Structure 1
Amino acid sequence: MIKNVKWFFVVLITGSLLSFSFSRESVFTEKLAVGTRVPELALCNEVQPLNLHAADGSYTLLSFWASYDAASRMTNATLSHAVEKDARVKLISISFDRYRSVFDAAVRQDGIDKEVCHLEMEGEDSEVFKSYDLKSGFKNYLVDSRGVIVAKNVTADELALYLNR
């Protein structure tokens, strides 16, 4: 009888632990999923936010990167060169480098148009970093003319396929 009671408690405790591990609060959800509107974008607490709206039928490509993150920097440079001759896509490239000199050197080395590049010197402490949920890594967002995310983390090839639909 005592053996059965011990096993009953072992099963009860194990079942409780498993049920807690699948509770709704512990399920990871993306803050900015495809189909949601992008948050307003103001860098370094500027009063004038960046204009995220493209002309009708066009897109805005938000590319977040930093010179210390090689993968995000390479993606940003590749996307920048892919969209520079396509009027349907407006690029907004945002770096989270802490120093302007590092940012300027990276933009020059990567051959990116300075007009589309912006610097957020507050880095991970910035509102942009938090509102675009970049704690799990730098991302890019393809946004339609209404400000709705239509794709995330696109490559240059995927962008070309998306635009040729």
Structure 2
Amino acid sequence: MNKFSILFFVLGTALFLGSCNKSNEFVVNGKITHAENKTIYLDELHISGSTLIDSAVINKNGEFKVKGQTSIPAFYLLYLNNEKIITLLVDSTEVIKVQADDVNFGVKYNVEGSPGSKQVKELNDHLDKTKHRLDSISSLNVIFRNRSNYAEMKVQMDEAYEKIVNDQIDFSTQFIQENPFSMASVLALYQKFDDNNYVITELQPLKTVASALNSIYPQSEHVKSLYANTLDLVNSERAAKIQQYIEEQGTNSPDIVLPDTNGNEKTLSSLRGKYVLLQFWSANDRGSRIVNSTLVDLYSEFRNKEFEIYQVSIDDDKEAWLNAIEQDGLSWINVGDMKGSNRAVMVYNITEIPYNYLLDKEGLVIAKNLKGQNLYKKVAQYLN
């Protein structure tokens, strides 16, 4: 390749890369009245904090222009100061026009050229109106508190307050149902009536949006955060339901089917007719090994009195598991799939080890997480 070919190659590559960068460029311009010579800033909004992308001095006609680049829809903040902020939902190549004035910047503005930003404005405007109406009712509550007919008026105000809240919830829910693939729905999910109360409190809308957006924007930090948060909430809800199920009196404990040390399946339900200590442990956990020594004494005393231990390992190393059983002298039923026994751990909501449940002859949970003398006394209570 001669020097001219090399030169053309380098120039061509530079032009190509430049065009690629340009293809993701967006522009935000417009007019801000009464803001001559003020600086306007454009930040990209992250999960924690924001990053300055561009800034410009507003000219004497109130005009400005700032730029950025994004390959997927992302949230940006346009502001004159930290108290006056316009939230934009920007996609690549958009040319966005914003019109506002300095006094009401961030509260009253028009935006064109960006469907996502218009959706954000729609959501924020509706919530602002809702908050204003709720604040008005709260103020009336204070004003009329000393009136003779306050009790009657309060009933009416409470009904009005509840209706406004429900209307906002219905609006946000409908928005999400109609726009599950819009990043604006992320904003809808996290809007609040106040510091402590979210508009959307049901899990299903989060699941819908998280699944939809993860299918098209998995690289978005906002989608990643939403998806992870939703999974945590789903798991927490499931765990709470399972825990409630386990602890309800008169409810049988969920069955467990796992291989023993010889590879033969052993079911927890096969021990009905005996009192059973369901014990979760790990060969590599010091606390579990210490508890094993007390279990040996317990089992020795009660094994011939319709008592059995069903010990579930969360290990993934079979050799370490078998060695621990031999070293600790564990002669009761030991099971584990050497994959963490994940299903049993999830079903019984095990978040720490060692951990146990004491089951009666019908498989009902009668106690949990007993240790030392408390465990001995509880077993003795039923078997002596």
1:120 partnered with 2:337: yes
Q: Residue 196 of structure 2 corresponds to which residue in structure 1? A: 18
User: Per-residue CA shift, 1:49-105, capped at 9, x if unaligned?
Assistant: 5143342xx411111101122223322442233122202321111212212210111
Which amino acid in structure 1 is aligned with residue 254 of structure 2?
Answer: P
Q: Structure 2 CA distance, aligned partners of 1:24 and 1:77? A: 46
> Greater share of strand residues, 1 or 2?
2
8 Å Cα contact 1:62/1:94 also seen in 2: yes
Which amino acid in structure 2 is aligned with residue 19 of structure 1?
Answer: N
8 Å Cα contact 1:63/1:76 also seen in 2: no
What SS is found at the alignment partner of 1:93? Answer: strand
1:4-83 equivalences in 2 (<5 Å): 16-20=194-198, 29=240, 31-32=242-243, 33-34=246-247, 35=249, 36-43=251-258, 48-52=265-269, 53-55=271-273, 58-83=274-299
Q: Structure 2 vs 1, CA of residues 88 and 49 (structure 1 numbering), >3 Å: closer, same or farther?
A: closer
What SS is found at the alignment partner of 1:19? Answer: coil
Q: Structure 2 CA distance, aligned partners of 1:143 and 1:92? A: 10
Q: Structure 2 CA distance, aligned partners of 1:48 and 1:72? A: 23
Q: Structure 2 vs 1, CA of residues 140 and 24 (structure 1 numbering), >3 Å: closer, same or farther?
A: farther
User: Per-residue CA shift, 1:82-137, capped at 9, x if unaligned?
Assistant: 12220232111121221221011111221211x4222321115x322222222x11
What SS is found at the alignment partner of 1:68? Answer: coil
Q: Structure 2 vs 1, CA of residues 47 and 78 (structure 1 numbering), >3 Å: closer, same or farther?
A: closer
1:85 partnered with 2:301: yes
Q: Residue 100 of structure 1 corresponds to which residue in structure 2? A: 318
- With a CA cutoff of 8 Å and minimum separation of 6, indicate the structure with the bigger relative contact order: 1
Which amino acid in structure 2 is aligned with residue 162 of structure 1?
Answer: K
Which amino acid in structure 1 is aligned with residue 352 of structure 2?
Answer: G
Q: Residue 174 of structure 2 corresponds to which residue in structure 1? A: none
Which amino acid in structure 1 is aligned with residue 278 of structure 2?
Answer: L
Which amino acid in structure 2 is aligned with residue 103 of structure 1?
Answer: W
TM-score, length-scaled by structure 1: 0.72
Q: Structure 2 CA distance, aligned partners of 1:43 and 1:18? A: 44
Q: Structure 2 CA distance, aligned partners of 1:159 and 1:147? A: 17
1:153 partnered with 2:364: no
Structure 1 residues without counterparts, runs of 5 or longer: 1-7
Q: Structure 2 vs 1, CA of residues 102 and 144 (structure 1 numbering), >3 Å: closer, same or farther?
A: same
Q: Structure 2 vs 1, CA of residues 48 and 100 (structure 1 numbering), >3 Å: closer, same or farther?
A: closer
RMSD: 3.2
Q: Structure 2 vs 1, CA of residues 84 and 24 (structure 1 numbering), >3 Å: closer, same or farther?
A: farther
8 Å Cα contact 1:65/1:76 also seen in 2: no
Q: What is the aligned-residue identity percentage?
A: 21
Q: Give how far 1:40 is off.
A: 1.2
Deviates more, 1:11-20 or 1:90-99: 11-20
Q: Structure 2 vs 1, CA of residues 122 and 14 (structure 1 numbering), >3 Å: closer, same or farther?
A: closer
Return the match for 1:143 from 359, 363, 369.
Answer: 359
Q: Structure 2 vs 1, CA of residues 17 and 68 (structure 1 numbering), >3 Å: closer, same or farther?
A: farther
Q: Structure 2 CA distance, aligned partners of 1:106 and 1:47? A: 19
Equivalenced residue count is: 152
TM-score, length-scaled by structure 2: 0.34
